[in-house]
Amino acid sequence: MASDVILIGERSEIKPRPRKESRGIGLGRFALVTITFFTFAFLYVPIAILIAFSFNSARTGATWQSFSLQWYERVFSNARILEAAANSLIVATLATIGSVIIGTLMAMAMERYQFRAKLAWDALLYLPVIVPEIVMGISLLIFFAAINLSRGIVTLVISHIAFCMPFVYLTMRARLADFDKSLEEAAQDLGADEWTTFRRITLPLLMPGIISSALLAFTLSLDDFVISFFVTGVGSQTLPVYIWGQIRRGITPEINAISTLMLLLSIALVIITQLIQRRQRA
Amino acid sequence: MRLAGLMAPGAFWLFVFFFVPLLIMAGISFLSRDRLGFPTPPLTLQNYWEIVRDIRFAPSISLAGGLTIRLFEGLYLELFWRSIWLSLLSTLITLFIAFPVALFMARLPSRYRNLALFLVMIPFWTNFLVRTYALQFMLRGNGPINTLLSALGLEPIDLLFTPAAIMLGLVYGNLPFMILPLYTSLEKFDWTMIEAANDLGADMLRAFQRVMLPLISPGLLAGSILTFVPAIGSYITVELMGGGRTNLIGYAIAQQFSASVNWPFGSAMSLLMMIIVTFRCGALLPQRSRGISQRSLRRRGRTWLRMSS
Amino acid sequence: MNRRSFLRLGLGLTGSTALLAACGGAPASPQPQGEQTPTTNTAPESLAKELTWYNWGNYIADSVLEKFKAEFGVTVKVDVYGSNEEMEAKFKAGGNPGYGLITPSDYMVSKMIAADLLEKINFDRISNFKHIDDSHKRLYFDPTNEYSVAYNWGCTGFAYDKTKLPEPITNWKQVTNWPEALRGKLGMLDDVRELLAVGLRVLGYSGNATDPAEINAARDLLINLKRQANYTLTDSPSAATNIVAGDVFATQIYTNDAVNARRENPNVVYFIPGDVSTIWQDNLCVPKGAPSRYTAEVFIDFLCRPEIAAENANEIGLGTPNVTALKQGLIAPELAEDKAVYPDVAALGNALEFLKKGDPQVDELYQRAFDEIKTA
């Protein structure tokens, strides 16, 4: 089982030996490409199915009948579903921003400083990931009721930040573990103050990690159902909550249609942010 | 103090919106249930007793569906055990698929890397339920896989509503959680270390084992935990892909909060589940706080890896 | 002559606060504790601008909501839930978040009455109540009929693909002898009580049995059936999808989903087995803490108009309790003549049982038996 890994120091035993030609590399590369290709295919086939069914005239997702745009028409005349979709996007965006900021700060603190409670915090910070969502959802509901905070977008964003932040933290810590501080030190030797160092050296170097954790947070928030269900209020239902509510009485390919639309919107959002970033760099 | 400034928002958020609610839940697990299934005093250990009361020592060996050797018997014991095994297995499979992909992505020219990241995440911007229904359809008797098989003249396979389908669903859903952290670690990996190891006479396998593995272990760890834990809790995927034929602990807990309202009991199960999972992941923690880095490795020049299960 | 009750616990939010809460604004007291807050209830004839309805998914025709808005100027906003327990959990743990109307099933109504979560309805304002058939009034969950108005009802029956089974099925007892050759092709409902009701009734007990011995006997029967037939346990709409796709050949299923399945696969036969079946009824209720009880009552009255009830029922495909609508021929013939949608209740007699949940001791027994079946 590869799930446990323990690192201990030991004496190295590598003796000098004649260098062998690694014939394996070519084969390895081919295997890599193939596996990656099939994995992406595996990831996308259900998506293709999902999109295809949004154009299916049949009601259940069992058979294909004929091409039809009726579900898209129904989506656009269904105020509830549109509102739910909008709620989802708003909450996801806000939660991503919040959790990336907080999570990155936290990761920096934990990685770069030594303090007494550090070991305890290290352990504690794994807990959020371990708690089952339903537990978190219900306890948050009770909590919000106890402090008299009315349920709605605010409680949604708060809760989403709460469960996204640990994921950001873990990803950023993995990234920070090998951060080369000498670059920062060099900048400071050259006279840059802390903020400039952070902005010009640290941040760009952390960018790949920030992007992947932002993506993670956005995805988690957009798709969250269990926690959202419990902390949502009147009129602030997110899309997953809405869709789940439809299940018991029968779903229609409307949900395929709105899902496709959301997908396109999310992609557009990300492309826009990328373009903005590129412009900033240039 | 800058440390406090950095820690404060995260610590606050965690404490207020996570630990406090968790304490509430722990408290509930020691309460009794009222007529409607909601928590009410008096305090009691009944909930925990209910989980363990039927555990008895009853060794048995069965060959149905693979070799099963059982030492203890008990309804919830069975549930916990099955869930942990299934999740571990799915984590392993996910790792084997994710690693080559993350490797491939990390070695792409840097201008394509972000694109690759997006391509990995995009499928997960569709709604989870709709996506799972699509996964279901993929495996159906009249779905694309079987249609393809028939076209090739092969026998259609009955995949849906089997444990294999569950595994498929779990791996599918957790792939990005394994790929992303692995990619993050691999992306900053210094490949010259491998060359150095080769120059010292190690072949690829040894170089991998002794040089690469320790250095990417933070990502490996993060990915494994981020995959294993959701796998244990994910009951919707399990239900939809498995057709309700396999019962797992996540579903049993959800039932206590929905169909059959018994919050104290559900809380007790959740707490127990969290403790077990924490212990499982707990062995990994000492390594984390040591923070091995490439530079310290060069300085020390020695590494050692032991895999244990 | 008004039965406006000024109960201490929870007359709660004023209309404006509720609207603010709906916009995610000012924090509102979720569980009013014995305040006599002035509410719009005291202003006799004023309708609120908005009525928020916590309802099942796909459970109201949009055209009906539009008509209501056109006539009364009130926008009805619908939030959806998927199960009674979800709704109950939200209300109990955090109080009424601001909904003015809810649609609990029969057993949930009695639970909520017991927990003091429902307002009494002023039936003086619901003159159209007379159109509801008497068989849907004064039922076990609301014997004095002060808290609920019947909305929809349906049954749990059995559907099968007649081209896939060697011989037609006529009762559940037959199903329990599922042939080996068809292993893996049977579907059951993933519902604690519905599943166990099958075992109980086939053995001759009531679906509401409370004797652990009976429940355990039913459990054992179902475990054996699982070993024999390896049935799936899914929700009803999934059962419909499964039978249309051919992944199961027969399944336990709710009426409305069976009707949908039939529309897509004409080979599907649906019937209400004479030895085991449950009946359920969804009701309109006004929760405590509703911003405007008056608006809710006006809306309920509107829904009870025969032509409106018919329009709704035709769209949703479930049975309406509005007997006038039936008599006036307003229900679409496809549904009105379908014995599955409008079964002959009198003829089925004892077969149709309401599943009464709510006694914690008993519920625990059932839940445990269900867990054991599922884990087997």
C87-140 tens-digit pLDDT: 887 787 777 888 999 999 998 998 889 888 899 998 888 889 988 888 888 888
Residue A19 has pLDDT above 50, yes or no: no
Task: Dump pLDDT digits (tens) for B94-122.
Answer: 999 999 999 899 888 888 888 888 888 88
Whether residues A215 and B180 touch (CB distance < 8 A) is answered with yes
More confident site: A246 or A98 = A98
Q: Give residue-wise pLDDT tens across range B225-279.
A: 888 888 887 888 888 898 888 888 888 887 887 767 788 888 888 888 888 877 7
Regarding whether A149 and A59 lie in a shared domain, the answer is no
Q: Would you tell me how many other CB atoms lie within 10 Å of the CB of residue C203?
A: 15
Interface B-C: count of C-beta contacts within 8 A: 87
Q: Quick check: is B133 in a domain? A: yes
Quote the CA–CA distance of A173 and A235 in Å, as a whole number: 37
Burial of C207 (0-12, 13-18, 19+ CB in 10 A): buried
Q: CA C293, C298, C302 angle in degrees (round to 5)?
A: 145
Pick the residue of A142, A249, A251, A258 with the most C CBs within 10 A to test the interface with C by mutation. Answer: A249
Q: Is residue A40 part of a domain?
A: yes
Do A264 and A202 belong together in one domain?
yes
Tokens 């509503």 correspond to what residue?
B161
Identify whether B254 is part of a domain.
yes
Min Cα separation C316/chain A (Å): 9
Whether A163 maps to a domain, the answer reads yes
Residue that is last in its domain, among A71, A103, A135: A71
Residue B265 domain-assigned (yes or no): yes
Residue C274 predicted with pLDDT over 90:
no
Domain shared by A50 and A101, yes or no: no
Say whether both A64 and A88 belong to one domain. Answer: no
Average pLDDT over chain A, rounded to whole?
A: 77
The boundaries of the domain holding residue B170 are 75-308
pTM for the full predicted model: 0.79
Question: A275 and A225 share a domain?
Answer: yes
- What pLDDT is attached to residue A8? 29
Let me know if residue B212 belongs to a domain: yes
Q: Mean pLDDT across the stretch B137-152?
A: 82
Q: What is the predicted pLDDT for the residue at C16?
A: 25
Query: Do both A106 and A215 map to the same domain?
Result: yes
A226 touches chain C (CB under 8 A): no
The pLDDT confidence band at residue C218, using thresholds 50, 70 and 90, is very high
- Domain membership flag for residue A215: yes
The CA dihedral of A259, A265, A270, A272, to the nearest 10 degrees, is 170
Does residue A23 sit within a domain? yes
Q: Is residue A276 part of a domain?
A: yes
List phi, psi (to 5°) of C88: -60, -45
**A81-128 per-position pLDDT tens digit:** 888 888 998 999 999 999 999 888 888 888 777 777 777 777 777 777
> Is residue C217 scored above 90 in pLDDT?
yes
B297 pLDDT band (50/70/90 cuts)?
A: very low
Give the span between the Cα atoms of B34 and C5, in whole angstroms. 27
Q: What angle do CA B274, B94, B267 make, to 5 degrees?
A: 15
DSSP H helix total and E strand total for chain C: 15, 10
Asked if residue A52 belongs to a domain, the reply is yes
> Which position has the higher pLDDT, A47 or C89?
A47
How far apart, in whole angstroms, are the C-alpha atoms of residue B105 and residue B186?
A: 9
A129 touches chain C (CB under 8 A): no
Q: Is residue B26 part of a domain?
A: no
Q: Are residues A46 and A104 in the same domain?
A: no
Query: A279: which 2 tokens?
Result: 């412009």
B130 touches chain C (CB under 8 A): no
Say yes or no: A109 contacts chain C, CB-CB below 8 A: no
Q: B16 or A12: which carries more pLDDT confidence? A: B16
| Statement to judge: residues A96 and A176 lie in one domain | yes
Q: Which residue of C has its CA nearest to A233?
A: C97
Establish if B82 touches chain A: CB-CB under 8 angstroms: no
Interchain CB distance below 8 Å, C367 and B160: no
The answer to the question of residue A264 being in a domain is yes
Residue B3 domain flag:
no
Q: How far is C334 from chain B (nearest CA, A)?
A: 29
Q: Which CATH number characterizes residue A239's domain?
A: 1.10.3720.10
Contact C364/B239, CB-based, under 8 Å?
A: no
3-class DSSP assignment, residue C93: helix
Contacts A–C by Cβ distance under 8 A: 132
Give tens-digit pLDDT for B24-46.
888 888 888 877 677 787 888 88
Domain count, chain A: 2
> Among residues A71, A91, A113, which one ends one of the domains?
A71
pLDDT band of C23, cuts 50, 70, 90: very low
Closest partner CB to C264 (pick from A60, A152, A249): A60
Nearest CA in chain A to B257: A134
Cα end-to-end distance, chain C, whole Å: 59
Chain B residue with Cα closest to A158: B17
Restricting to B residues 141-160, those with a Cβ less than 8 Å away from any Cβ of C are: 141-142, 158, 160
pLDDT confidence of residue C2? 31
Same domain as A121, residue A248:
yes
Alpha carbons B83 and B86: distance in angstroms, whole number: 5
Q: What total number of domains does chain B contain? A: 1
Residue with the bigger pLDDT between B4 and C196: it is C196
Which residue of chain A is at minimal alpha-carbon distance from C31? A145
The tens digit of pLDDT for each residue in A51-74 reads: 888 888 777 666 777 888 888 888
Asked if residue A132 and residue A251 are part of one domain, the reply reads yes
What are C137's two structure tokens?
Answer: 């009034």
Q: Which of A56, A60, A94 to mutate to test the interface with C (most CBs of C within 10 A)?
A: A60
A56 lies in the same domain as A176: no
Shortest CB distance from B18 goes to which of A8, A162, A173? A162
CATH number (domain holding residue B280) = 1.10.3720.10
pLDDT confidence tier of residue B66, bands split at 50, 70 and 90:
low
Q: E strand or H helix at C12, and its extent? A: none
Structural domain of A65: 17-71
Q: How much is the pLDDT for C4? A: 34
Q: Quick one: A205 exposed, middle or buried, by C-beta within 10 A (0-12, 13-18, 19+)?
A: middle
pLDDT over 60 at B293, yes or no: no
The DSSP 8-state label assigned to residue B66 in this structure reads S
Q: Tell me whether residue B41 is in a domain.
A: no
Same domain for A130 and A176: yes
Examine residue B242 and state whether it is found in any structural domain, yes or no: yes
